[in-house]
Each structure stands twice: as C-alpha cells, then as structure tokens.
Amino acid sequence: MDFYLLNYILIGPAAWALLWLGLLMGRARMNRLRRPPLPLPSPPSSLSIIVPAKDEAGYIRTCVEGLLAQDYPGFEVVVIDDRSTDGTGEILRQLARERGNPPTAAVRVVHVDHLPDGWLGKCHALHVGTRNIDSEWLLFVDSDVSLAPEAARAAVALAETREYDAVSLITRIQPRTFWEGLMIPILGATWATMFTVSLTNADHRRHIAAANGQFFLIRRRAYQMVGGHGAVRNEIVEDVELMRRLKHEGFKCRFMIGTHLASTRMHATMAELRSGWGRIFAGTGRFRRRRIYGGIVFATLSSLSVYPALAFGIWKFATVSDWRWITAAGVHWVLLTTFLLHLYSATRCSKLYALLPFISFPVLIRLLGEGLKRCRDRKFEWRGTAVTIGET
C-alpha cells in the first residue's frame, strides 16, 4: 500500500474509529441515570441545594424557583449572594420572604461582602454557604442551571442505592448564540477525551477524576473529610480538583450523563469561550501542556485532513482511476460527520452544525491555544474579577 495513504488512514479514518470506540465505552460507564429511576430510601436523606450567585439579577429568580420545584421530599435551598452589585441580593431577600415557611422547601440566603486573600470567589462563596449545613447530602448547582423536577431525587436515589459518595452530571446546553451551539458540544467532547473523564467511574483509577460544578452532589461526611471548598480555595477548576481529592481518599465517585435532568447556559460569545475554556483546559491539566498539545495535533491532523484528502482522492480517481484515496477519505468523512451528528443530537443542538467542521475545528484549535496561553501566564478573568494563580 502507498506509504502516504497508509499514514493518512492511520491519522484519519482509524483515529476516528478509535474515537467512536472510546465514545461507546465511555457512555457505557456514564449512562446509569438513563435507566429506570431507583427509589429513595425510607425515610429519605436530608438534602441542601447550594447555589453561588454573583450579579445574576436577570436569572436568579428563575433558577431558584426551578430548584424549589424539585419533587424531593423535604429539602432546603441555600443561595450565596457573592458580592453582587446588580440587585441579586434584593431579589433573593424577596424570594426568602415569599418562601418563609412552605410545606416542602425553604430558601435561605447567605450574603458575602468581601473576598479574603488567597481565595477564588466561587470557592469562598461555597465555603461560607456550607458552614451551617447539617444535611446528609449537599447538591451544588450553578446559578445558570435549570433542573428537571426529578433531578435531585434521581441523583440521591442512585447515590444511596449504589453507596456512592459523590455524583456529578454532564448537563445539556441551552444555546443562545451560534457560537455557543456550535462550539460547546465539541469543546466538551474534546475535554472529556483529553482527560478520560469516564474513568472517574473506575474505582481502581484513583488518580483520574473529573466533575462538573454545574451539578455536583456530595455526601456531607465525605465533603468535610477532604476539607470541602477550603481545600481547593485557589483552584480555577475547583469542581475537578474536589472530585480528585474525594477519589484519591477512596470515596466512591461517579460522573454521569444527565442531559435529560439538567441544562445550562454557558459561554455565549467568543470572548466568553476564550476566557472560560482557556481556564478549563489549563486548570484541568494543572497547567501542564502535554494533553493540550495532543488535542491540537488531533484536531489538525485527524479532523481537518479530511478535506485535502477528499480533494486529492477525487483527482486521483478522475486522472488514473485510483479509488483507494477517495474511499479512505469517504470513510473518514462519514466517521467524522456521524460522530458530530451524534454529538449535537445528544446535546440537543442543531444537527446542521455537524456539517461545519471546517469552522468548528479551527476555532477549537484557537481555544486550545488559549489554554496553552493560560498555562504560561496563569492569568484569568471572569465576571469582573482578575487573578493570577501564582499570586494566591
């Protein structure tokens, strides 16, 4: 076989076939919540849902009212108003007055006025918010997340039945812009592949763990034993680091697909994508660049190579009736496109985006490059707060 054709098959069609295999194996590890729901123990364990909120006046009422609609028997919602300046605090106070003594759930508001040295904002807010909680389970939910009414019940029932100490969910995207719908599914899949997040569910792999702070259920005893958010006070991906600590200490941790139970608004603009995913790639890799370089190489060679290969295959077939290149390139294109179709379908984004890898993969490479930049300078900014990790 032609040397160049063989190499193309290895970096193109064969690489995507292996990626498909990895996807199927990963989903098998992470799909338990898609099965019929398990019953809660009797009596059910106590639950506190904890939400950090900074300048969320436009969405916080919708978020909290959605949390209060959970069908879990007897729980509380604790919202931390983290130095908000846009009216978030007043909205929360009003919600607390409205839900002062309801039959199923109450709202408790905690106000944070300053950020101590050595802390990142979200870590400090959650540390303060959990000080006076004695519930058996803590469910951390971001303020831009919407939950299905059965989400808390399903997660706690699974954890109790299987004796898990922590369960985090992959959520569904609610895209508001073209860039958000096009890029978030690919970025999430790239992150999951680079850091083999499905191996969080392999108890013997204590050094591999990942989590999503948008939905993170933890047994309070386990949370306290690893030091809670105080132990990850200056980690820019505090959710991943907290799960790593839990798993390293021998607690049973699970990372599950929960797109039917929770959805989120994430990064709508290109500036937000650069800031958010530069932080995620650099932080998850602990500022080591090897995996990011691997992602760039894969996106460049295994994804974008399909187009010159198709063009060359058509030329070879038309000039010398050599069908081998066009066959290999066709298989490559089918594997790539069907993978993207599955990805966008699973995240409920437009399937038409699967036809735009010539746009999405160059942007992916650019955002991976942003992760490399953050590995070098360790400078981050989010919601008006700038920090250099080396200083904290």
What's the per-residue H, E or C state across the chain? CCHHHHHHHHHCHHHHHHHHHHHHHHHHHHCHHHCCCCCCCCCCCCEEEEEEECCCCCCHHHHHHHHHCCCCCCEEEEEEEECCCCCHHHHHHHHHHHCCCCCCEEEEEEEECCCCCCCCHHHHHHHHHCCCCCCCEEEEECCCEEECCCHHHHHHHHHHHHCCCEEEEECEECCCCHHHHHHHHHHHHHHHHHCCHHHHHCCCCCCCCCCCCCEEEEEHHHHHHCCHHHHHCCCCCHHHHHHHHHHHCCCCEEEEECCCCEEECCCCCHHHHHHHHHHHHHHHCCCCCHHHHHHHHHHHHHHCCHHHHHHHHHHHHHHHCCCHHHHHHHHHHHHHHHHHHHHHHHCCCCHHHHHCHHHHHHHHHHHHHHHHHHHHHCEEEECCEEEEHHHC
> In which band, very low, low, confident or very high, does the pLDDT at 103 lie, cut at 50, 70 and 90?
very low
Choose between 299 and 98: higher pLDDT. Answer: 299
Whether the pLDDT of residue 226 is over 90: the answer is yes
> In which band, very low, low, confident or very high, does the pLDDT at 383 lie, cut at 50, 70 and 90?
low
172 vs 263: CA distance, rounded Å: 4
73 vs 160: CA distance, rounded Å: 15
pLDDT of residue 392: 44
Provide φ and ψ at 169, rounded to 5°.
Answer: -120, 145
Give the mean model confidence (pLDDT) for residues 138-151: 94
pLDDT of residue 172: 92
Whether the pLDDT of residue 384 is over 80: the answer is no
Choose between 330 and 29: higher pLDDT. Answer: 330
User: Is 190 in contact with 292 (CB distance < 8 Å)?
Assistant: no
Please tell me whether the peptide bond between 175 and the residue prior to it is cis, using omega within 30 degrees of 0: no
What are the beta bridge partners of residue 381?
386
pLDDT of residue 1: 61
pLDDT of residue 321: 86
Q: What is the pLDDT of residues 159-172, one digit of tens each?
A: 999 999 999 999 99
User: Is 298 in contact with 15 (CB distance < 8 Å)?
Assistant: yes
Amino acid sitting at position 278: G
Within 8 A by CB and 6+ apart from 107, the residues are 64, 68, 76, 77, 79, 92, 95, 96, 98, 99
Q: What is the pLDDT of residues 274-287, one digit of tens each?
A: 999 999 999 999 99
Threshold 0.95, pTM exceeds: no
Whether the pLDDT of residue 101 is over 90: the answer is no
What are the beta bridge partners of residue 170?
257
Average pLDDT, the chain: 91
Give the up-direction half-sphere exposure of residue 66: CA atoms within 13 A in the CB hemisphere: 19
Q: What is the pLDDT of residues 179-192, one digit of tens each?
A: 999 999 999 999 99
Give the mean model confidence (pLDDT) for residues 106-122: 89
Of 2, 9, 7, residue with least CA distance to 328: 9
Instruction: Output the six-digit token pair for 380.
Output: 């981050």
Q: What is the pLDDT of residues 342-378, one digit of tens each?
A: 999 988 899 999 999 999 999 999 999 999 999 999 8
248 vs 277: CA distance, rounded Å: 25
Domains and CATH numbers, the chain: 3-25+288-391 (no CATH), 33-171+212-268 (3.90.550.10)
